[in-house]
Chain A
Amino acid sequence: MCPVLLDVNLTEDFAAGFLLAARAPELDILGVTVTFGETDLATAAQNTAELMALCGLACPVALGADRPWRRTWVLPPRPMPLGGAINGMQLDPAAKADLSPLPAAEFLYEALCAAPQPVTLLCAGPLTNIAALLERHPDAKNRIGRLIWRGGTQRHAVNGVVRDLQTLLDPEAAAFVLEAGLPFVMCPVDMGHALQASQAEVDAGIGLTDPVLHQLNRLLKKRWCEANENQPIGRRTLGLPLQDVAAAAYLLDPEAFISEPFHCEVDLKGRYTFGMCVVDICRRMGREDNILLLRSTDHERVLSRLYQ
């Protein structure tokens, strides 16, 4: 059993990845910490409670940062309830998490110290909680086996031209964690473009009677429709990028991925490039590699796990 801690801002963009990890028998999920992100901390906490109730994951949950590490919000969070849309997942709004009294950073530190072996962190959100953890407890670094981040980008970026959402949500925290010298696996936005589900692959879940997989199918179909909602009728053929599934699948089956080490920094000064995740793909900087960048994957092998 591989011990894992999840640090998430859980919205529709990570629910499929979350379920993949939560249902994997080979993982021992020690706890979940919640961060602000695209959605606010309270919504993210409730989303986490509801999704954990759906899949029967019973581990402690700790609340973390409600805003960036060193500044106010770059992008103001908005409410994004996971069960909010009629065509998305239907979740129990009365679900309650087993909340730890500790803040996320302290909870993570205790969990890391209590674990007999190094723990894998799977992060899907700004890296604020991890930055706070490493700032307060520098020795935590040695207890982290590796950190897998659903975030960053080598090329594709959707916020103000060159910034990817997860980096921009808290640029200073991302910069700090990248410099910390952790074994850092980046599952970038680009990985979503490398792992896209076609409509047929999404629809392969139609008719499944397992309640979790049924909700997953509803979620993926909603996301696929959203990816195509601006396409003209008859041309709704875009794939659904599955960056979240890729990040969780890497945890389960790293050999299904092609990856490459690079040096990566976050720009904190630029007029247009502030908050940009800069991956030195041409190796111009001569700096030591600090990330393992996921670049492509075995599509069939990863997607075959989706509805298992």
Chain B
Amino acid sequence: MYRLPVIIDVDTGLDDAMVLAMACVLPELDIRAVTVCFGNNDLLNTLRNTLNMLKLCGREDIPVGAGADRPLVRPTPSYGTDGHFVHGPGGLGGVTFPFPDATAALSDKSAPDLMHQVLRESDQPVTILCLGAHTNAARLLLKYPEDREKIRCFVNMGGLVRAGLPTVMSSVNIFYDPEGAAVLLDSGIPFYMCPGDLTALAMVTLEEMEELRRFRSPVGRTVSAIMDAYYKTCSSLGEQTRNGVTGQSLHDPCALAFLVHPEFFTYGRYWARVETQSELCLAMTVIDYENTLGVPQADKNLYLVDGIHRQPFARFFLDSIRCYEEGGEA
């Protein structure tokens, strides 16, 4: 079976941890590296969470590159002891691992250098799944511009169609490093964006969460605990119901699902850039929905994923985690 070569760039908080658990057992993927960035917490925590999650999943064979602890040009964000308002203390909502912090998979190369090595050694273009701040991939493109030929596309969780989060027009993940995101969108490399509006619909219902709760493997239990922590914060923010369905939106897993099962989704193709100069509109994903610029098709760098079939998505999520159960299979 063909395995899609991929680098997964994470800022491991709650939903990134789910992506790692899912991706590690997917026969469709050939994970060449995992690179880590600040975002859902500071780099120390996102790196620790990433390494621990990979150990839990039995995939310490995947090299992990530590990346940026701050945006390209903006100051280092501060998380405090309470952490991110969704991902909580340490970035995993207080979920812990039954072993000392893992380090075996940590590469001596930094994230951009590890990405560069993977791209150079690959005989085919590699897809980069961007789930956090875009600093690592931006540094890769700035340091090794020739590597763009080896990047098949970016698949991203981030952006928002027009609403703002956390500020008036900014969008999730883009906000962590607007200049970094701008490097990616300026590069012309196809950018598949799963915006927050879409990923909010990538929902696992309360009933499906019950199904997850019955899993007995260490990964199944941890993912279930992560899910509970995620639901706790998101429901306290009033985000638990979308389109009449109540449950938990799985933002980063939505982008992974697009990579593996694009048939669940619909998308449109547009020209897009990131605003970096305006304070008011900082980190806005400026998307030419109405094709007012009339740019040629080849210059439309954004594939905006805008529709999802929820049920097969939820099934894909559960089936991935089920692989860790005894007798479960990929």
Q: Contact residues of A with B, CB < 8 Å?
A: 155-162, 265, 267, 269-274, 276, 278, 280-282, 284-285
B15-40 vs A, Cβ < 8 Å mask (1 yes, 0 no): 00000000000000000000000000
Q: When the two chains form the complex, which single residue of B276, B279, B292, B293 contacts A271, counting CB atoms closer than 8 Å?
A: B276
Minimum distance in angstroms from A212 CB to a CB of chain B: 33
- Is there contact, CB below 8 Å, between A280 and B168? yes
- Is there contact, CB below 8 Å, between A267 and B293? no
A263: nearest chain-B partner, CB-CB: B168
B246 at the interface (CB under 8 A from A): no
Q: When the two chains form the complex, which single residue of B162, B164, B281 contacts A155, counting CB atoms closer than 8 Å?
A: B162
- Is there contact, CB below 8 Å, between A267 and B164? no
8 Å CB contacts to A: which residues of B226-278?
A: 271, 273, 275-278
A-B contact pairs, 20 of them (CB 8 A): A158-B292, A159-B292, A161-B288, A161-B293, A162-B281, A162-B284, A265-B280, A269-B277, A269-B278, A269-B280, A270-B275, A271-B276, A271-B278, A272-B273, A272-B284, A273-B281, A273-B284, A274-B278, A280-B168, A282-B163
- Is there contact, CB below 8 Å, between A285 and B167? yes
Q: What is the bound-complex CA distance between A269 and B167, given in angstroms?
A: 16
Q: What is the bound-complex CA distance between A285 and B169, given in angstroms?
A: 10
User: Which residues from B are CB-within-8-Å of A284?
Assistant: 164-168
Minimum distance in angstroms from A263 CB to a CB of chain B: 9
Minimum distance in angstroms from A6 CB to a CB of chain B: 29
Minimum distance in angstroms from A218 CB to a CB of chain B: 28
Q: When the two chains form the complex, which single residue of A161, A271, A276 contacts B287, counting CB atoms closer than 8 Å?
A: A161
- Chain B residue total in the interface (Cβ 8 A): 24
Q: When the two chains form the complex, which single residue of B163, B275, B286 contacts A281, counting CB atoms closer than 8 Å?
A: B163
Q: What is the bound-complex CA distance between A270 and B273, given in angstroms?
A: 12
Q: What is the bound-complex CA distance between A161 and B300, given in angstroms?
A: 13
Known contacts A161-B293, A267-B281, then 20 further A-B pairs from the complex at CB < 8 Å, ordered by chain A residue:
A155-B162, A156-B290, A160-B293, A161-B286, A161-B292, A162-B284, A267-B278, A269-B278, A270-B277, A271-B277, A273-B169, A273-B280, A273-B284, A278-B168, A278-B281, A281-B163, A284-B164, A284-B167, A285-B167, A285-B168
User: Which residues from A are CB-within-8-Å of B275?
Assistant: 270-273
Q: What is the bound-complex CA distance between A169 and B39, given in angstroms?
A: 39
B278: nearest chain-A partner, CB-CB: A270
A283: nearest chain-B partner, CB-CB: B168
Minimum distance in angstroms from A75 CB to a CB of chain B: 13
Minimum distance in angstroms from A145 CB to a CB of chain B: 29
User: Which residues from A are CB-within-8-Å of B273?
Assistant: 271-272
